[in-house]
């Protein structure tokens, strides 16, 4: 008997898992916002295709580590009643894996983006038009709101009310 589900259902389940992490995990939102800003600002640095490959693999590594960490934490929470030293060790090491990935991501960022001559170019871009700096500030505020509260409450307000 074949128990394989169709590809689109597997894909949808994966999307739901990522969405769960974004809604439930503040650190996933922090990593996602950081990746989006870094990707946006990377355009100022004239990266070649190999450097972009390293950058996007780094994003993937950190975000995947966060998803796996969330899975491990939820599994430990489900299977543990009260305090468990075993669950603590498992959860701490999974969180440690995310931290290792994030610290090495900082190393990648340092290697790719420590070009002080580019920083005035970025500043010039945002000050060249009156609306760019306020737009950056608003995007920063929205990013902070997203990180703190997540996408759930915002999307719930955007959805039409359900019929009874």
- The values of phi and psi at residue 88, to 5°, are -60, -45
- CA dihedral (43, 46, 50, 55) positive or negative: negative
Q: Which residue has the higher pLDDT, 75 or 152?
A: 75
Instruction: Please give the C-alpha separations between residue 67 and each of 21, 22, 33, in angstroms, as whole numbers.
Output: 6, 9, 15
pLDDT-derived band at 132, boundaries 50, 70, 90: very high
* 25 tagged catalytic: no
Q: What is the pLDDT of residue 124?
A: 96
Hey, what domains does the chain have and what are their CATH numbers? 23-151 (1.10.287.3610)
- Plot region of 110 (φ>0 → left; ψ -120 to 50 → alpha; else → beta): alpha
pLDDT tens, position by position, 56-90: 999 999 999 999 999 999 999 888 888 889 999 99
pTM: 0.86
Q: Which of the following is catalytic: 51, 66, 73, 117?
A: 66
Provide the pLDDT confidence category of residue 161 given band limits of 50, 70 and 90: low
pLDDT digits (tens, 9 = 90+) for 4-53: 888 888 899 899 999 999 999 999 999 999 999 999 999 999 999 999 99
Which residues have C-beta within 8 Å of that of residue 122, sequence separation ≥ 6? 41, 44
Q: Where are the alpha helices (DSSP H) in 7-151?
A: 7-24, 26-41, 49-79, 85-113, 119-128, 132-149
């Amino acid at each position: 008997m074949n128990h394989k589900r169709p590809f689109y259902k597997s894909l949808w389940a994966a999307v739901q898992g990522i969405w769960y992490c974004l809604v439930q995990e503040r650190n996933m939102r922090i990593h996602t916002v950081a990746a989006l800003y870094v990707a946006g600002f990377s355009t100022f640095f004239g990266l070649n295709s190999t450097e972009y490959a390293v950058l996007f693999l780094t994003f993937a590594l950190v975000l995947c580590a966060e998803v796996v960490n969330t899975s491990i934490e939820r599994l430990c929470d489900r299977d543990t009643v009260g305090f468990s030293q075993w669950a603590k060790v498992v959860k701490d090491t999974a969180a440690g894996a995310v931290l290792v990935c994030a610290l090495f991501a900082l190393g990648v960022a340092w290697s790719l983006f420590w070009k002080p001559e580019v920083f005035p170019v970025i500043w010039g871009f945002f000050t060249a038009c009156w609306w760019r700096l306020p737009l950056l500030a608003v995007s920063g505020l929205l990013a902070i709101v997203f990180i703190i509260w997540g996408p759930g409450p915002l999307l719930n307000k955007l959805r039409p009310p359900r019929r009874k």
